[in-house]
Amino acid sequence: MRCITKQITLLAIFITCLISTGWTQTEKENKSMNRIESGFIQVNNGRLFYERTGAGEPIVFIHDGLVHRETWNHQFPAWADRFSLIRYDRRGFGKSSAPTTEFSNTDDLLAVMDSLGIEKAALVGLSAGSRLAIDFTLEHQERVNLLILCGAVVSGLPFTNHMIMRGGRLNSDIWADTTVLYKYWMEEDPYEVYPPNTEARAEMVALLKANPINFGQLRALLVMQPRRPAINFLSEIKVPTLIVTGEFDIADVHAHSGAIAAGIQGAERIIVNNAGHRVQMEQPEIFNEIVMNFLSESSFFQTLYQSGAEKAAEMFHAERKKNPEAAFFSENRMNQVGYQYLLSGKVSDAVQLFKLNVEAFPGSANVYDSYGEALLMAGDTTGARQNYEKSLELNPNNTNATAVLGRLHGGEK
C-alpha cells in the first residue's frame, strides 16, 4: 500500500512538473539579428540561464514542464528580424539551477524582465508555460502586451484521471521504474507528439537526453502555487490572447483551452491539424504563420479591449486614410469577436465592429449577414434589411438571409 501511495505521489509530482513556469535576460541591446546573447540571471537562491536575439518589440518565450528553452528552436531566432526575442530555462530545467528552497515561477519571470530591462512584453507560453503566462498576467498585467498560449492549461482547473494516467497508458508499474517512465515520455506518449510526426519526436528525445535535469521531480514540491487560481479570474485579463491547440492533444488540454477562451473576452482559439501537444515543433511553419498574423492584428485588438470599440474604429479609419487597403484583422477574426460582443449584450459595440468588417471586406456575403443580424438586435430593421439584401446579392444561396428577409417582409419574397 505504501508503495502504491508513493507511486501516486510521484505521478502527481510529475504532472505538476508538466504544469509550472518562469525565466530571464540582460540590459544590453542586441542590434545584430544573427547574434545570440546568453548568460545567467541571479534569482532568490538560484540562477536562470537565458538567451536573447533580434531587435524590436520584446517577446518572452516560456517553455513547458518537460522540454527546456530549446523547445522554441523553430521560432528562436526565426522571428528575430521583427522582434527582440528572449527565452530562458526555468528552475530545474536546461542550464538553470535546480531549486533547493521554495520559489515562485511568477516572481522568477518578473526578475527576468526586470534584469533585462523589459518594461512590457508579449508572452508566448507552451503548456506549463501558458499557465505561468496567465498567472503572471493576472499579477502584472501592466507588464504584458499580449498572450500567445500553445497547448494551454490554466491554474485552478483540475485534471481528469484520463490526463493523469494518459488514458490508461501509465500505471503503477511504469511509475515505479524510472527508466521505463522516462522512455514512455520520450518515445511512447501519443499526445505529447502526434505519432506520425517522427522528426519532431526525434528532436524532443534528443533534447531530453541532453538535459536529464528536466526529469527532476523535487521542483514540484518546492514551487509555490499562484496567489489566485487563474480559472476564477480570467475575465480580468484585457490583453489580446491567442490560444493554439493541436487536434490530437489530450482531451484535458482542449478542455482547459476552451475554458481560457471563454474566460478571456475576445480570445481567439485555433486548432492545428496533424499535431499533438507540441504544435510549435510538429507544425512550425503553420504555427509561425498563425502567430505572425495574430501579432499584426494585436495593436487594433489591444485598443479595442482597453479603450473600446469607438477608439478602435478611430484607429482603423485613421490608418485607412493613409492606406485604403489596410486591415488590422482577418474577416473571420472580426466576425468572431463581433459575435462575442453581441452575445455578451454589448450590441452597440458589436454593430460598430461588424460595420468595420463590412468596410474591410465589402466583397464578402458573410460580413453583411452578420452586420444585418447585429442591426436587427439593435432595432434598426431598415439597416438590417439592406445588409441582408446585400448579402443575398453576393451569395444567392444564403438561406439565412432569405429566411430573415422573408420575416422582415411579412412573408413576402
Check the CA dihedral 35-126-68-276 and report its sign. Answer: negative
Domain boundaries, the chain: 2-292, 308-408
Burial classification of residue 288, based on how many CB atoms lie within 10 Å of its CB (0-12 exposed, 13-18 middle, 19 or more buried): middle
Whole-angstrom distance, CA of residue 186 vs CA of residue 201:
8
pLDDT of residue 26: 35
Domain 308-408 in this protein, CATH class: mainly alpha
pLDDT of residue 76: 93
Stated pTM of the model = 0.75
Whole-angstrom distance, CA of residue 266 vs CA of residue 353:
12
Instruction: Give residues with Cβ within 8 angstroms of 302, minimum separation 6.
Output: 145, 146, 239, 240
- The domain made up of 2-292 has a fold known as Rossmann fold (3.40.50)
Whole-angstrom distance, CA of residue 272 vs CA of residue 292:
15
- Three-state helix/strand/coil letters over 26-79: CCCCCCCCCCCEEEEEEECCEEEEEEEEECCEEEEEECCCCCCHHHHCCCCCCC
Tens-binned pLDDT, residue by residue, of the chain (413 aa): 434 333 433 444 344 444 333 333 333 344 444 689 999 999 999 999 999 999 989 999 999 999 999 999 999 989 998 899 999 999 999 999 999 999 999 999 999 999 999 999 999 999 999 999 999 999 999 999 999 999 999 999 999 999 999 999 998 888 778 788 888 988 899 999 999 999 999 999 999 999 989 888 778 889 999 989 999 999 999 998 999 999 999 999 999 999 999 999 889 899 999 999 999 999 999 999 999 888 878 778 878 988 999 999 998 998 888 888 777 788 988 999 999 999 999 999 999 999 999 999 999 999 999 999 999 999 999 999 999 999 999 999 999 999 999 998 874 44
